[in-house]
Homo-oligomer: A and B are copies of this chain.
Amino acid sequence: MHTDIPPISATSTAKEPITNRIYDSILEDIRSGKLEPGQKLKVRELTSEYGGSTGSCREVLNRLAGERFVQTKGMTGFSVRDLSPEDLIEVLDLRDQLESQALVQAIQHGDTDWEEGMVLAFHRLERERIREGTSLIEREYYHREFHLALIGAHTSEWHQFFIRTLSLHSERYRRILLPKRIFEPDYVRVVDEEHELIMRLALERRAEEAAEALKKHRSRSRTDLLVALESR
């Protein structure tokens, strides 16, 4: 997980290996479902779709395998990680556990920077929701940033890494199974209210209630996801 989508891609002249560009593209397509769960990833096809050579693409696939976005076994190549109800439940449960624990810690130890970061991330999230030209990718980015701001910069690196991994995996379920939901006005409004509630409770240092609100925030979509997954 080397870098993330920049808010607005600046005219970056930074020298980066091609593999990073390919990595970003493939990961985005796995998250969005353009590369479907279980789909075989043939190196030759990938090169013509994403550029680079067979070598570069295999490097990327290996990195993604290490992060469990793609599966690989013996000499049979790579494929996009499967979806399953069991996996979904595990991902959501573990994420809940890690994230609410981190939130409580942040509320107990958070400083002014943490508060300001949260407010700022919330503002950006709302702004980009309203704006016209904002892509889904960017919205998902700001959404993730908000949740990261909640748990704060002081959360341990490993903790953040695990939360980030689980977030990306659950994002995949959401984007594949409920692709339209995210644009429904009612849904957006409810989600926004929940975000604001969590933030307010966090600012007021009401740890228990904030953690509870965070759990509730997630449990709503949980059932929808499971239903959508079963009927595939």
A-side residues, CB < 8 A to B, are: 1-2, 14-17, 19, 55, 58-60, 62-68, 72, 74-75, 86-87, 89-91, 93-94, 97, 101, 156-159, 161-162, 166
Known contacts A62-B66, A66-B63, A101-B97: A74-B157 contact under CB 8 Å? no
Closest chain B residue to A90, Cβ basis: B156
How many copies of this chain sit in the oligomeric assembly?
A: 2
The distance from the CB of A26 to the nearest CB of chain B, in whole angstroms, is 13
Q: How far is the CA of A147 from the CA of B59 in the complex (A)?
A: 33
Are A159 and B94 in contact, with the CB atoms below 8 A?
yes
CB distance from A22 to the nearest CB of B (A): 12
A interface secondary structure, majority: helix
Q: How far is the CB of A140 from chain B (nearest CB, A)?
A: 21
Which of B55, B64, B89, B157 is A90 in contact with, Cβ under 8 Å? Answer: B157
The answer on a CB contact under 8 Å between A94 and B63 is no
Nearest residue (CB) in B for A14 is B74
CA distance A22 to B128 in the complex (A): 46
Question: Is B90 touching A17 in the complex (CB atoms < 8 A)?
Answer: no
- CB < 8 Å neighbour of A66 from B19, B55, B65, B101: B65
Contact A93 B16 (CB under 8 A): no
